[in-house]
Structure 1
Amino acid sequence: MNSGGGVTTTLYRQPTTLSQSNGPSAIVSPSSRRPRKKERPQNQGATLLNASENEILYSLLGHDCISLAAGVVQLLRADPHNARVWTRAHVGVVSLVKDYPKRSYFLRLYEIFKNKFVWEQML
């Protein structure tokens, strides 16, 4: 405020907008600084399963987990006594899962007819 001879005047500065200035002092809205969050992908089931079987798979995934790809598999394990012999450990659906709460990707195996999760490998 300037005071001169009993008269008070106030100086106002008009805010700078992006179109008026190209410099770093330009006013930028907070929403334009943050990148937009990507939309979450839809669950992808196995093509060898019907719609109801894929729905069972999606229900077994858990909260905030998305199936990015899935397929019908047999999980084989090497015999601990003879490495040349393989035994079938499980038959089911393996899914590439994006687990949002854990911020990780997993290969997870489900036996959908028994409604259970049986194996996982973090990637």
Structure 2
Amino acid sequence: MLLHTRYLAGRPVDTIQCVAQIRRRHRCTRPVLSPSAPPGTWTLVPATTGRRQLTLPEGLMAVYGLTHLTYAEQLRWRHQRCPHHAAAPGAADLALAEWEPFDPLLHHQHVHTRLPTTIRNHRRRRV
């Protein structure tokens, strides 16, 4: 959840890639979730639709919340930029942000009733 709206990402939170263009029309390879930026928090919230406030049978759903972060940090996530490119407003976007407004009735297969318990392993790149 960011900017008080629930969005569905096209991939797991830790693999969302920056959309900014770097040299020679290549896409930035940095993730939006960066060790140098404050992280979001996983919480359980009521699984309701935004329109009619219907509660789904599951009751609660796990959400990666960013609403406790500053407005600027939430905008960085919404624009799907790494911290480096968030500070460079002149950089063009090479791809569209992958966010889609979340509707629990349409996206019910993505409703998870438990918080994540494992941390994914990441390959570290050498610089």
- Which TM bucket (shorter chain)? under 0.3
Q: Please, what TM-score do these two structures have when normalized by structure 1?
A: 0.24
Flag the structure with more relative contact order, 1 or 2, with Cα contacts below 8 A and sequence separation at least 6: 2
TM-score, normalising length: structure 2: 0.24
Q: Give 1 or 2: higher helix fraction.
A: 2
Larger radius of gyration: 1
